[in-house]
Structure 1
């Protein structure tokens, strides 16, 4: 049984006696605070903080982390405040305890919002001191080890949260041993039957594999001895959750996964890593495309190793990892190794690098948080960021940018700088033009072409991967939508005043205050935004100023806006009639969406008028630019290659086709409906004239609405 004395003995291997005494003092303080409290298992509650501290001792965490582990539930469960802990044990320990306390009792599923807000608190606490999350992870690890006393439903909830949040965080911080334990224990609690069956299969296979594993290991050791390389060769076992995940994601059988053998070679220094790699490749043939050098380009969480797959005797695939002792330590402990080297007085660059990477990741979390209003959306973005493998691409200057697998040039642009992402218009991959939606691969050189006049495209949200890109695009579009709705609402309001022989400058303070009160607006901008988004009409506001006036009650005569481009977030074009510049148009103010533009003859306009919906006149700006989608209906005589001929004819007019639909009326005649992008009625007339001149075309026109 673990006691404070046995823990003290363990700590004496790396802490000073004065530091151990401080840890013991924190233990006795917590023991007194938790007196009379018990865990579900029936044990005294103090056994939990003691066990958490013991987990931290196993990775040689500093004495302040151990003190915080002893005290981590005191604020939450005993009513003792942060100030009291700060007075007794110092501000740093109190801050860690407070940070961990704020993360306690996260609810899941039924209270997603609460869980999300707690996770945001975790990001803030981590930003102040990384030790907060290390203590929290050790707290969760002990809870996972003692799940047995909990009801089945609560077990599953905690296990799901562990798999979705805590295991990926441990992975991101490079704490691989903890990640594996989180995953295996979470898997066993979530799917006990599957875990039991898989474990039994693993035990059965292990006996059959033993001879071959020993044979391969002996061959590798012999080859290293011949090359005078001093290295430790270890057979590596796949853990349960890893096997289960591969079976599900790669649709492979248990046998297929277990047919791959894995070994780790640990050597003295980096130079020997590469020498060992050469020896292994001389022993067995390497599998093309399977070599990865994570020493030259380390993973985002600081992980370093050489990975290769070789084909052994009888065609058996063998995965080999080659690394130094320090790299192996970092692979197991990750960011926690920073305190190990720091406390021993050795400023190890690898551990410092891991620590810096963790801090960079946390800064990225805070960036995402600043651009995300919904805490649930924040958690979803972070899950994406936590789970993905990385690709490594280069800037034109040769700098390495780390991105999640599946990232696109737009993700790359935002990784370089938010402004680069916001003004991105095109890209070149390895000096060749490429679409912005193309997935990037490691080793590619990416050049972003930007324009100050450009802005994020809402369609980017359909393919960007990184949380930073998604958050920045949404943030920009939200601000842009706000700006546009305020401007639109202001213009509509001013025109409504003019139509009622009023001037804004003539309104006194009491009139403006009255307007804001009756429209429940905090400011004029908020009132304008409500008008622009269609929540209230400009007519309603003028009726507040002129309650007895019946003028313009039907909304006619108000021409608040002109259309300048197809890209406005507050002006959309009705799909039913697809208006283009030059068409007579009318505007429908749709609640929450802004202005929807219809062609005047559209049958839906008649329906809206009959329902007395809010309609107003609208005009095309003389300087309108951009491409607008519209529909052409072409009747043709069916013949071979007619669609290709039609597409070629349209392309020759400088027009892009966005959609084609074919309706065969009979064996001889078909109707082809084309969605094309044009700039004006003149442009459309030229396209239709070109189509009409085709021999097989019997008629062409815009469909009647």
Structure 2
């Protein structure tokens, strides 16, 4: 275990004026607080924060960050408090330690939700100070190095979390060395068989080509020396996980891989980078399509380098990375290479926020993802945003947009601006109109075609690959559903207030929201549309003197289909001395002479329904209803209106709840006719050919069998339930009559709930 003086000496090597008192105090405090605690390995717990601090000294970080590393588990695992740390070490260090503390004692529904909430808290802390990220990654790296000591089930979860979140996060922050090691360690536990196989194959290849890397390094060095260019050449063999990932993504065998070796060429300045590139390309053949210039177009994590692949010495395919020493430092340490802490900067202020594009990206991403999503959605979207592989596309004005591989023009539109994504209806890629599901390639110029009336379809969520796009689509979908419920709720309130001789307005509602337990007018009105809030409760809140009546509730729309709302909802109230069905029929009878186009005997002022619409909030009862039926709507707890034929026996359940009844009428569009499902019960002879005869009749009548089930089989008779689709009531009645005429059919009747 590292001693106190050894830690101070490690920092002094790169920061001679180190604040020794701070490090000593943090060391002693952590030692005292962790006391006799042990790790799963049996080592003293204090060994863990010391190793985390040692990892950070390799990144040449300041003493304040090293002190945070020593203290990072004290609030979570000891009796230490935030106030105590603030008093001893200052509020800056206290805030950093708290940012690294996992959430405790939360009533969360799942381990995944807890993981998601911890990640949200961590990323929000990172957005305030990047040192939280650096300490957290070092903490995770040491935990992964000692993962073999934890139970197998916990080991697998930690390894997967590392592969999904922390390794990509390190990569996005430009810390490639740390990403590589995290991936290697996670790969060892997630897929040990593949890890062992690839590692053995690489070891065999390394033994076989022991002198190859040295020979190629010498060839390159001699070539650059001949051209009087100072360059350091360093060869390396790819790591097992990098090899395995390429085999998986390209569907290649190990033998088919031709670029297992890579070489880095470090030169003095940017001009020398391009000079080295010219020398190499002049000497050896280039592999087409394998050239990338990340100097002129840096990655979002600040990575800058020239990549090229050549058929080099010994006819080997060789990957080259050409960069300056400063670029190499940023490529290895990422944001840590930017973390310059100066004595003259107050409170340990860092220059990272001005220097690092990676950190700016992270803060912007966190701001986007933290708006209104639940923790598990936040986790999902963050994983999407951490994908490393990118494509670079351009707007017609030349603005560069970086996206994950597999991104579509929809992702591009949301990357430009959320409003552009929400109003996107089409696109042009390189001047040609293309589908919105087209995958974008490097260098594509994308023009988004917009419409002011567009609302993003929910199905887009399955198409996009960026977290920002997915989050925005979900928000837009929720807003659209809320708007629809608010529209229905407003019409219900208008009708309820009109019947009471009052006038409803949002202005009257706003001052009394607290009386109905609401904070926002639109949310409250939408609650009325969903049936969660009674129109009578709203009426009573605004006009306390009004006599109380029971209020409507609503029901979650059934699975059978959704229907479009086109006019105001009219709530039916019981007429004195009449049963419910008699009341409805009497009302319909009074409207017979002026019936609407929905069907004879239906009220003109009722709510019209038409055809299937996935965004509406009206559904049929399971037994169905067809045009020509006299129908009513029932609101029940949930999300909409359920439509029943007036003959449905289930309506007796609502005899004592007249306020839940709504006038409904048909509004059929003859230009776009639609079949409607309905259930029939058939008793037929139990003999060969009976079913064929019945289905032939159904086909002749232009109906369609949607489902068929056997309810009872006797020795002579089979009872069948059929769900069929018909155009209207007339067709259904004709079909039932023709089925009854079949010699094999005893009875054929329509089923009601």
- Contact 1:492/1:560 (<8 A) preserved: no
- Contact 1:195/1:240 (<8 A) preserved: yes
Matched, 1:594 2:640: yes
Residue 369 of structure 1, CA deviation: 1.5
The 5-angstrom pairing of residues 647-662 of structure 1 reads: none
2:685 corresponds in structure 1 to none
Residue 26 of structure 1, CA deviation: 1.2
Matched, 1:533 2:530: yes
Larger deviation, residues 118-127 vs 16-25? 16-25
The 5-angstrom pairing of residues 133-152 of structure 1 reads: 133-152=133-152
Larger deviation, residues 43-52 vs 521-530? 521-530
2:369 corresponds in structure 1 to 368
Larger deviation, residues 398-407 vs 214-223? 214-223
The 5-angstrom pairing of residues 512-551 of structure 1 reads: 528-533=525-530, 545=549, 550-551=574-575
1:221 corresponds in structure 2 to 221
Residue 193 of structure 1, CA deviation: 3.7
Matched, 1:74 2:74: yes
The 5-angstrom pairing of residues 193-272 of structure 1 reads: 193-257=193-257, 260-272=260-272
TM-score (norm 1): 0.77
- Contact 1:495/1:560 (<8 A) preserved: no
1:635 corresponds in structure 2 to none
Matched, 1:90 2:90: yes
Matched, 1:611 2:650: yes
1:688 corresponds in structure 2 to none
Residue 441 of structure 1, CA deviation: 1.5
Residue 97 of structure 1, CA deviation: 0.7
Residue 112 of structure 1, CA deviation: 0.7
SS of equivalent to 2:19: helix
Residue 454 of structure 1, CA deviation: 2.8
Change (3 A) 1:353 1:90: closer
Change (3 A) 1:391 1:359: same
2:165 corresponds in structure 1 to 165
Larger deviation, residues 179-188 vs 100-109? 100-109
SS of equivalent to 2:356: helix
- Aligned mates of 2:647, 2:385 — CA distance in 1: 46
- Aligned mates of 2:287, 2:415 — CA distance in 1: 33
Residue 106 of structure 1, CA deviation: 11
Larger Rg: 2
Deviations for 1:529-558, whole angstroms, at most 9, x for unmatched residues? 344235688799999616997339469568
Unpaired runs of 5+ residues, structure 2, are 540-546, 552-571, 588-602, 655-659, 677-695, 705-725, 733-753
Change (3 A) 1:198 1:437: closer
- Aligned mates of 1:292, 1:350 — CA distance in 2: 29
Residue 182 of structure 1, CA deviation: 0.7
Residue 561 of structure 1, CA deviation: 4.7
2:693 corresponds in structure 1 to none
The 5-angstrom pairing of residues 270-669 of structure 1 reads: 270-312=270-312, 316-340=316-340, 355-372=356-373, 374-495=374-495, 501-505=499-503, 528-533=525-530, 545=549, 550-551=574-575, 553=580, 556=584, 561=607, 569-571=615-617, 592-594=638-640, 606=645, 609-612=648-651, 616-618=662-664, 630=674
- Contact 1:174/1:303 (<8 A) preserved: yes
- Contact 1:338/1:352 (<8 A) preserved: no
Change (3 A) 1:60 1:116: same
1:35 corresponds in structure 2 to 35
Unpaired runs of 5+ residues, structure 1, are 599-604, 633-664, 674-700
- Aligned mates of 2:279, 2:646 — CA distance in 1: 80
- Aligned mates of 1:10, 1:220 — CA distance in 2: 35
Deviations for 1:282-340, whole angstroms, at most 9, x for unmatched residues? 22211111111111111111111111111236753221111111111111100011115
Change (3 A) 1:578 1:202: farther
SS of equivalent to 1:307: strand
- Aligned mates of 1:304, 1:238 — CA distance in 2: 20
Residue 111 of structure 1, CA deviation: 0.8
- Aligned mates of 1:672, 1:227 — CA distance in 2: 84
Change (3 A) 1:585 1:199: same
- Aligned mates of 2:288, 2:531 — CA distance in 1: 60
Change (3 A) 1:281 1:52: same
Change (3 A) 1:126 1:581: farther
Residue 490 of structure 1, CA deviation: 2.8
Change (3 A) 1:170 1:119: same
Residue 581 of structure 1, CA deviation: 13
Residue 379 of structure 1, CA deviation: 0.3
Change (3 A) 1:575 1:265: farther
TM-score (norm 2): 0.73
- Contact 1:144/1:182 (<8 A) preserved: yes
Residue 100 of structure 1, CA deviation: 0.8
- Aligned mates of 2:284, 2:138 — CA distance in 1: 41
- Contact 1:578/1:631 (<8 A) preserved: no
SS of equivalent to 2:307: strand
- Aligned mates of 1:290, 1:158 — CA distance in 2: 35
Deviations for 1:625-667, whole angstroms, at most 9, x for unmatched residues? xx978579xxxxxxxxxxxxxxxxxxxxxxxxxxxxxxxx9xx
Superposition RMSD on alpha carbons, in Å? 4.4
- Aligned mates of 1:182, 1:109 — CA distance in 2: 29
- Aligned mates of 1:379, 1:481 — CA distance in 2: 24
Deviations for 1:552-583, whole angstroms, at most 9, x for unmatched residues? 94695685656799878334688999999999
Residue 139 of structure 1, CA deviation: 1.0
Change (3 A) 1:322 1:591: farther
SS of equivalent to 2:453: coil
Change (3 A) 1:630 1:7: same
- Aligned mates of 1:438, 1:580 — CA distance in 2: 41
Larger deviation, residues 545-554 vs 167-176? 545-554
Change (3 A) 1:541 1:99: closer
- Contact 2:619/2:640 (<8 A) preserved: no
Larger deviation, residues 106-115 vs 439-448? 106-115
Larger deviation, residues 25-34 vs 121-130? 25-34
- Contact 1:108/1:157 (<8 A) preserved: no
SS of equivalent to 1:611: helix
SS of equivalent to 1:235: strand
Change (3 A) 1:513 1:205: same
1:637 corresponds in structure 2 to none
Deviations for 1:428-452, whole angstroms, at most 9, x for unmatched residues? 2222222222222221222223233
2:686 corresponds in structure 1 to none
- Aligned mates of 2:290, 2:205 — CA distance in 1: 26
Deviations for 1:503-531, whole angstroms, at most 9, x for unmatched residues? 34499xxx9999999x9878876664344
- Contact 2:424/2:448 (<8 A) preserved: yes
- Aligned mates of 1:330, 1:309 — CA distance in 2: 22
Larger deviation, residues 206-215 vs 576-585? 576-585
Residue 175 of structure 1, CA deviation: 0.7
Deviations for 1:223-271, whole angstroms, at most 9, x for unmatched residues? 2222222111111221122222223332222222365432111111111
